[in-house]
Chains A and B, each alone.
Chain A
Amino acid sequence: MIEVRNLVKEFDGTMVLKNIDATFQKGVVNIIIGKSGSGKTVMLKCLVGLIQPTSGEILYDGRNLTTMRSGEIRRLRRDIGMLFQGAALFDSLTVLENVMFPLDMFSRKNRRERRKRAEFCLERVDMLQAANLLPSEISGGMKKRAAIARAIVLNPRYLFCDEPNSGLDPKTSQVIDELISDITTDFDITTIVVSHDMNSVINIGDNVIFLNEGIKEWEGSKSQVMDADNEKLNDFVFASDLFRKIKVAEEIISEEEKGG
């Protein structure tokens, strides 16, 4: 579980995150949504300590990140897996070497066991066939899958994903979403996903937080997000024609059910 208390981030006097309180439970997918520029990435980077917040507390199962020294932060990070927007695979290493990298760095297992563990994770994301290719030789969706394998190879307790679907086609997006969701429940980890993709929210958003201009406007589950009576959230959700039509269709169906 990760708790955020009164999180504030200012850049040169402009407040990008405004007093955010949130709780992210273990074993469910937490999604932070919002328009581009609403502060999602800044919030995620604060959560993992890549950006120092101006004030507030970030508690990892009770341990406060904001007061930790750099050595402690580095130890905490061995429990963190992160999927970056562009996958961020090391481009001089093959897919398998990328996945083995955290093990090479931190695990006491011998080489054969490390390799086995990396292959297990690649199998999990269905990428074993591409193990010996370089990142430049595989597609965007494959890069994301390899990056997920690398993120989970050390059995993290916390998983962060920044826009896991950006730049992917709808079908591949769904595969990635389901992978994130399955991993979260299988390994019982605390997962936080940043996204502006409503499809992901509807697919896997167990707990949804809506950020607007640095303010937490709304929080709920995927089943509530379409029926919320928050104007700003509605603007965001129904910006897409598809979701407007779904909403209308749902209303018609429920009218008919009442009528019939």
Chain B
Amino acid sequence: MSIISSLESVGEYALLLKRVLTPPDRFSQFMKEFQKGVYALGVSSIWIVVIISFFIGAVIVLQIALNIDSPMLPSFTVGVVSREIILLEFSSTIMCLILSGKVGSNIASELGSMRITEQIDALEIMGVNSANYLILPKIAAFVVFMPVLVIFSMFTGLFGGYIICMVLGTPSVETYVYGIQAFFNESFVWYSIAKSMLFGFIISSVAAYFGYTASGGALEVGEASTRSVVMNSILILASDLVFTQLAMG
């Protein structure tokens, strides 16, 4: 991609957002689409979040337990460090990377196929602001549901660690539970939730941009969906860096 065409895309994305972020034509229709979005993008993602968080939580605790097995450190350190990693980075950034694959490609392919089968033109011809009608409920649903996913991820991640301690016995379950409560800073949870809501906005709006502007046939819709996942992964990692620097630095 040349610099000019990337800049053009950024401009197009901004113009699309301007059309998206307006009050809905009919609030009842918005709510209907919003509910669909909560289910299709949020509720249906719970299982993947739970499964992945459980295993990654377990692996994090396992790795840390094996690597800081030192008489210099109190054994509850494993709990403290694992908690910080799970709360601060895993349950927001890594989980959003995974969701950008699932939710991002879902949004991009749905909008892309509506574009190439002229369903978006049909909305426009009826006098509906199609960008607002189709995209706003998806962004809103995903961003609003994000904290639920993050909290699920935090708990199942820590639970995965708990199970590992039960199996391994070092550190003991009691030490681990003590560790994950020690020096607890509640603001980290809020920080993580805020960050993931930002990522939720990026994932859904960028995927919507790629889908909404797709053209051609089924092949191009697939390409749009792939490009949206690649772009989202880069944007999430880059904005994680910026966000962390701003909030913690």
Q: Enumerate 25 A-B pairs (CB-CB under 8 Å) in ascending A order.
A: A50-B121, A50-B124, A74-B128, A77-B125, A77-B126, A77-B127, A78-B126, A80-B125, A84-B122, A88-B122, A89-B119, A90-B119, A91-B119, A102-B126, A104-B26, A104-B28, A104-B29, A105-B25, A105-B29, A105-B126, A105-B127, A106-B25, A106-B26, A106-B126, A154-B126
Question: Are B127 and A82 interface neighbours, CB within 8 A?
Answer: no
Taking CB atoms, residues of chain B closer than 8 Å to A75 are 127
A103: shortest Cβ distance to chain B, in Å? Answer: 10
Mask, B116-156, CB within 8 Å of A = 1, is 01110110111111000000000000000000000000000
| Chain B residues within 8 Å of A, Cβ to Cβ | 25-26, 28-29, 114, 117-119, 121-122, 124-129
Contact A88 B127, CB 8 Å, known A82-B122, A104-B26, A104-B29: no
Taking CB atoms, residues of chain B closer than 8 Å to A89 are 119
A136 to B208, CA, bound (A): 24
A78 to B129, CA, bound (A): 12
A77 to B130, CA, bound (A): 13
B200: shortest Cβ distance to chain A, in Å? Answer: 22
Flag whether A33 is at the interface (Cβ < 8 A): no
Contact A85 B118, CB 8 Å, known A104-B26, A105-B26, A105-B29: yes
Taking CB atoms, residues of chain A closer than 8 Å to B121 are 50, 84, 88
A102 to B125, CA, bound (A): 10
| Chain A residues within 8 Å of B, Cβ to Cβ | 48, 50, 74-78, 80-82, 84-86, 88-91, 101-102, 104-106, 154, 160
Question: Are B125 and A48 interface neighbours, CB within 8 A?
Answer: yes
Set B28, B118, B128: member contacting A88, Cβ < 8 A: B118
Closest to B28 in A: A104
Question: Are A105 and B117 interface neighbours, CB within 8 A?
Answer: no
A84 to B124, CA, bound (A): 12
Across chains A and B, which 5 residue pairs bring their CB atoms closest together, nearest first?
Answer: A77-B127, A88-B118, A88-B122, A74-B127, A84-B118
A84 to B126, CA, bound (A): 12
A64 to B216, CA, bound (A): 31
B229: shortest Cβ distance to chain A, in Å? Answer: 23
Taking CB atoms, residues of chain A closer than 8 Å to B122 are 82, 84, 88, 90
Closest to B26 in A: A105
A82 to B122, CA, bound (A): 7
Taking CB atoms, residues of chain A closer than 8 Å to B25 are 105-106
A41 to B181, CA, bound (A): 66
B37: shortest Cβ distance to chain A, in Å? Answer: 12
Contact A77 B124, CB 8 Å, known A104-B26, A105-B26: yes
Question: Are B117 and A106 interface neighbours, CB within 8 A?
Answer: no
Interface core residue of B117, B118, B126 (most chain A CB under 10 Å): B126
| 7 additional A-B residue pairs with CB within 8 Å, beyond A91-B117, A106-B126 | A76-B127, A80-B125, A88-B119, A88-B121, A88-B122, A104-B26, A106-B25
A74 to B19, CA, bound (A): 13
A76 to B125, CA, bound (A): 9
A88 to B117, CA, bound (A): 6
Question: Are A82 and B128 interface neighbours, CB within 8 A?
Answer: no
A117 to B126, CA, bound (A): 17
B240: shortest Cβ distance to chain A, in Å? Answer: 34
Taking CB atoms, residues of chain B closer than 8 Å to A101 are 126
